[in-house]
A and B are shown apart, each in its own frame.
Chain A
Amino acid sequence: MRPLDHLAYRMLIGDRLKYLSLVAGLVFASLLVVQQASIFTGYSDRTGSWIYDSDGHDLWVMDEQVEMSEDSKPLLQTALSRVRGIDGVAWAVPLYKNYLKARLPDGKLITVRVVGIDDASLAGGPLGASRESLATLRRDQAILVNEAQLATILAVREADGSTRPLAVGDAISINEHQATVAGTFKATPDFFWDPVLYTTYSRALTMAPPERRSTTYVLVKAKSGVELAGLAARIRETTGFAALTTEEFAARTRTYVLAQTGILINFGITIVLGFIIGILVAAQTLYSFILENQRALAALKAMGVRNARIARMVVVQVFVVGVLGYGIGAGLAALSGSILDSVGLAFRVTWTTLSLGLLAILTSCLLAGLLGVRRVMRLDPASVFKT
């Protein structure tokens, strides 16, 4: 470390109270920024949970106007055979998805998302279902439910007022059609709150109101060695349907939700406000610190330290408190994330969040620091002789 950099560091840590105030301000700012951004990322990721949880296929074929996973614009049943006839398709199966009313054993009426998967292959079933559990769908009236929701949104209120989890063997009514809980599956926490119930495609159609168009998606598996982008393009050209990979469909859903629901604006405002408050605290403390050191810096200037070196000293100080404050703040945010995660709230820290957060904190500190230095640079050097 250069002697003047060392001097800057010693000046910084010498006054413990001011040093800790500076670090604390930056910890606060960093915590807010990383935490809010990670909650936002977590919720943003969850918009694609159902899509990612769907197993076994390469492409989702759907009406071109479908904007997200919860947007049902069904296709004619002939769509399936049209897709199956396209070169490069190994297999294609239909999938039904719609919002229906379900009555629980205690009579409570709720809205559920009914997903009907191919009767024969059961392709498109949830990744988190065991083979045995999935096979139970072949039983009469069988449905699979999300095990995490058994004791929450699907809980059954008993006659004595107590509640119990919905259990395998319980009968529920979906759109006035009898269904029996035959098994459960594990699902990735979802942004959309209505429970997902899996059943077979044909059974789902019997539950749903009669419609001419009944295939929500056609799930496609590409032949080995076939390029997905090329296959998707061929499907689009041949049928006029959209053909998206899981990643593309999740991204389309995420974009729609962020753009249309206001969640982006709300979180954006929270993040920006948190950032501004935190940065103002840190910048104010940093600015005060430099002004309080103004006389010492002016004395150094009189003794022959150039303006550029004064600026460099401030940069060293900013870097030390910035990195330390950010490190602690981001660490606390990650800690709070593990707590939030354990109670089911969305939270995901990404390297992008961490990198952008660090960049933002350091830049703001640097600006605050250089604002202070500007005053020192403009200081009448002869002021060191004044009392």
Chain B
Amino acid sequence: MTAVPAASPPTVAIRCAAVTKHYGSGETRIAALRGVDLAVQEGGLTMLVGPSGCGKTTLISILSGILSPSSGELSVFGTDPSRLSDGERAEWRASTVGFVFQQFNLLPALTAAENAAVPLLIRGVPWKQAVEVARGHLAELGLGERCASLPRELSGGQQQRVAIARALVHDPRLLVCDEPTSALDHETGERVIDVLRTAALRSGRVVIVVTHDQRILRYADALLRMDDGCIVGDRSNTSAAPAEGT
């Protein structure tokens, strides 16, 4: 692993400097990111907003080690995932990153507990032990009674909470959430963001939420606005009131 020299204060968990990302080449070359500079602090809920096609998905893909930038400096908890080999990067993702997808991406054949246990299974934890740990996380999220349910037997909000349990079960330092509330009604969406914020407030963890949902912006500790591949606005929302119930 190659660590980027830590020139930033210790509370900065993620740092990007002049990060670009291009797709294609020649006349078909498209710039998805045009020099992103970014610093995200530990222990907060960071929201990333902007119009469709502005580069949000590309940015979180790079931050989570799924894509590599075309150029620029990147440090995520002291590691530049783009400098790791494919295998090392997969290991790094498995240990460092938790994902919450817009469409949940739960495995339809598995129960809620088994779905939530997947990251532990990826890390080689035995099946029964992994499922047991996952049950505990589901119980914390109020789904203790639905551990044996299949995804199709759960509501959208419940499925998203299973997805969150899955994202947290291996205790990752970075949680990347893509439109976690867009498929949910207002009340359920608020409950979900509440859970995410609780996770974010845990020391050392960073939660990045990509969203179009204006209703949840008030929960952000930091708000990043993107447009045309650049960060066009960066606001720390230290005055944001904690979500109800937290």
Contacts and interface: CB of A to CB of B under 8 A. Distances in A.
Are A and B genuine complex partners?
yes
A315 B108 CA distance: 20
B216 interface: no
B91 interface: yes
Interface string A218-234: 00000000000000000
Given A305-B90, A382-B57, A385-B178, A11 B109 contact: yes
Contact of A14 (B86, B91, B107, B210): B107
Interface in B92-128: 92-95, 97, 99, 101-103, 105, 107-110, 114, 118-127
A98 to B, nearest CB: 69
B87 interface: yes
A213 interface: no
Q: Is the interface of A mostly helix, strand, loop or mixed?
A: helix
B121 A4 contact: yes
B39 interface: no
B121 A296 contact: no
A344 interface: no
Contacts of A14: 107-110
A111 B126 CA distance: 74
A301 B99 CA distance: 11
A295 B126 CA distance: 24
A210 interface: no
Interface in B152-195: 178
B122 A303 contact: yes
A304 interface: yes
Interface in A1-36: 1-4, 6-7, 10-15
Contacts of B95: 304
A298 to B, nearest CB: 8
Given A4-B122, A7-B118, A302 B102 contact: no
B122 A300 contact: yes
Contacts of B87: 306
B178 to A, nearest CB: 5
Contacts of A65: none
Interface of A: 1-4, 6-7, 10-15, 295-296, 299-307, 381-382, 384-387
15 contacts: A3-B127, A7-B110, A14-B108, A14-B110, A295-B105, A299-B105, A301-B90, A302-B99, A303-B97, A304-B90, A304-B123, A306-B86, A381-B61, A381-B66, A382-B66
